[in-house]
């Protein structure tokens, strides 16, 4: 059946978003739902997506049967993992056309309006994607324990390690290290117990304090940001080579870290043209066999 509608899904670890348009790009509805990370919570993630699909059609004043006239692209966190991709083959919503990719791929498509280029998302975690005009190549995204270069959780972990070093007089203390240790009652044991259950988001909560301290002249904070900036530069250089195009930084750290990047890295960066949902809709349009005039 020829699709009449385009539906983009952006499924992240915190929330899931959906945007529905007609083939001319007119917005019909947009809605937000629960988390949709298919690596960490496969069944719950797809339940969130299915619920959100129903909600967005309801908001648009369409019946559930309109899904059968819809080209759907879902960009889901964790969909880059091969074992998850195999499971996702069995997810077959009753739509006219379907493509499931990772959330970083739709972010890349949105950032460059479908043109060749790359994106490096740096929030709590990090992942990159490069589009050369024919295929996506993903970079990083293997989780806090193994990957996440340039991201908030890793920056937070380095800061707390530095605070502990300063507490034990291995390195000189500073305002930031004292502030961080005070949050654990100046007790390494309290900090150790906290690490047993700390999530990546927990580690990343000290990031605003690091930026504030660096801007106030704290040497330790500035060293931490320079190290993070160097990690980002490493990833940007590889993404540039993979895409032969510019790179857009996205995510919560993208704006505050830019002044700390070296000139060569900054020269490779461009402002994103669109968000992840706009990228999903670009890919959804490519699934339609017949293009109606705009």
The DSSP code sequence of 10-31 is: EE-SS-EEEEEEETT--EEEEE
Percent of the chain predicted with pLDDT > 70: 98
- The answer to whether 144 and 127 have CB atoms below 8 angstroms apart is no
- Between 201 and 278, the higher pLDDT residue: 278
How much is the pLDDT for 245?
87
pLDDT-based confidence at residue 290 (cuts at 50, 70, 90): low
pLDDT digits (tens, 9 = 90+) for 107-121: 999 999 999 999 999
pLDDT-based confidence at residue 40 (cuts at 50, 70, 90): confident
pLDDT tops 50 at residue 292: no
pLDDT tops 50 at residue 293: no
pLDDT digits (tens, 9 = 90+) for 205-225: 999 999 999 999 999 999 999
In the predicted model, what is the mean pLDDT of residues 37-65? 94
pLDDT digits (tens, 9 = 90+) for 135-147: 999 999 888 899 9
- Between 251 and 178, the higher pLDDT residue: 178
How much is the pLDDT for 1?
62
pTM: 0.86
How much is the pLDDT for 291?
52
pLDDT tops 80 at residue 52: yes
All structural domains of the chain, each given as residue ranges with its CATH number in brackets, are 5-113+273-286 (3.30.420.40), 152-267 (3.30.420.40)
82 vs 183: CA distance, rounded Å: 40
End-to-end Cα separation, the chain, in angstroms: 20
In the predicted model, what is the mean pLDDT of residues 99-108? 95
Half-sphere exposure of 178 (CA within 13 A, CB side): 6
């Amino acid at each position: 059946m020829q699709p009449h509608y385009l539906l983009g899904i952006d499924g992240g670890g915190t929330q899931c978003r959906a945007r529905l348009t007609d083939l001319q790009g007119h917005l019909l509805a947009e809605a937000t739902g629960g988390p949709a990370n298919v690596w960490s919570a496969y069944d719950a993630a797809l339940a969130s997506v299915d619920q959100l699909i129903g909600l967005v059609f309801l908001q648009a004043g369409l019946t559930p049967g309109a899904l059968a006239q819809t080209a759907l692209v879902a960009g889901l966190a964790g969909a880059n993992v091969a074992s998850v991709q195999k499971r996702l083959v069995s997810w077959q919503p009753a739509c006219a056309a379907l493509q499931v990719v990772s959330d970083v791929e739709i972010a890349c498509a949105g950032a460059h309006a479908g043109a060749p280029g790359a994106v490096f998302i740096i929030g709590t975690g990090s992942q990159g994607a490069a589009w050369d005009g024919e295929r996506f190549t993903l970079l990083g995204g293997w989780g806090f324990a193994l990957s996440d270069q340039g991201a908030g959780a890793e920056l937070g972990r380095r800061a707390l390690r530095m605070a502990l070093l300063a507490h034990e007089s291995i390195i000189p203390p500073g305002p930031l290290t004292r502030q961080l240790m005070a949050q654990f009652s100046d007790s390494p044991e309290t900090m150790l117990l906290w690490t047993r259950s700390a999530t990546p988001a927990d580690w990343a909560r000290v990031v605003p304090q690091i930026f504030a301290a660096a801007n106030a002249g704290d040497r330790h904070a500035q060293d931490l940001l320079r190290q993070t900036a160097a990690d980002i530069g490493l990833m940007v250089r590889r993404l540039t080579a993979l895409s032969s195009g510019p790179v857009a930084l996205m995510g919560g750290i993208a704006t505050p870290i830019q002044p700390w990047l070296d000139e060569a890295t900054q020269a490779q960066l461009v402002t994103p043209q669109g968000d992840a949902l706009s990228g999903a809709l670009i890919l959804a349009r490519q699934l339609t066999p017949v293009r109606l005039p705009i």
